[in-house]
């Protein structure tokens, strides 16, 4: 399967991620309804979003412009290559 090229399909994919995320958060909060669980979920999601931003945008734009990401596996491989040098 090739890369997505149609912007409509990209928006559809983003919308499906949003629906899946909201459904899973709702399921967790229905199962464990508490402010503490909601806060921990919010902090965890925010932290992982910031890590994702760092892994791809910050490294590529500010730390190592030669790095071009291809996914989280690519980022892990990049970290191991950097450690070995």
Host H or E run for residue 65 = none
| Three-state secondary structure of 19-33 | HHHHHHHHHHHHHCC
What is the pTM assigned to this prediction? 0.69
1-58 pLDDT, tens per residue?
Answer: 677 888 999 999 999 999 999 999 999 999 999 999 999 999 999 999 999 888 888 8
Q: Rounded CA gap, 24 and 13, in Å? A: 16
Cα distances from 68 to residues 5, 45, 55, in angstroms, run: 19, 24, 11
pLDDT value of residue 43: 97
């Amino acid at each position: 399967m090739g890369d997505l090229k149609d912007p409509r399909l990209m928006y559809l994919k983003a919308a499906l991620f949003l629906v899946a995320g909201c459904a899973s958060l709702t399921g967790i909060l229905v199962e464990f309804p508490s402010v503490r669980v909601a806060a921990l979920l919010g902090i965890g999601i925010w932290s992982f979003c910031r890590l994702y931003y760092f892994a791809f945008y910050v490294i590529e734009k500010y730390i190592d412009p030669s790095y071009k990401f291809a996914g989280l596996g690519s980022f892990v491989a990049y970290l191991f290559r950097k450690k070995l040098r």
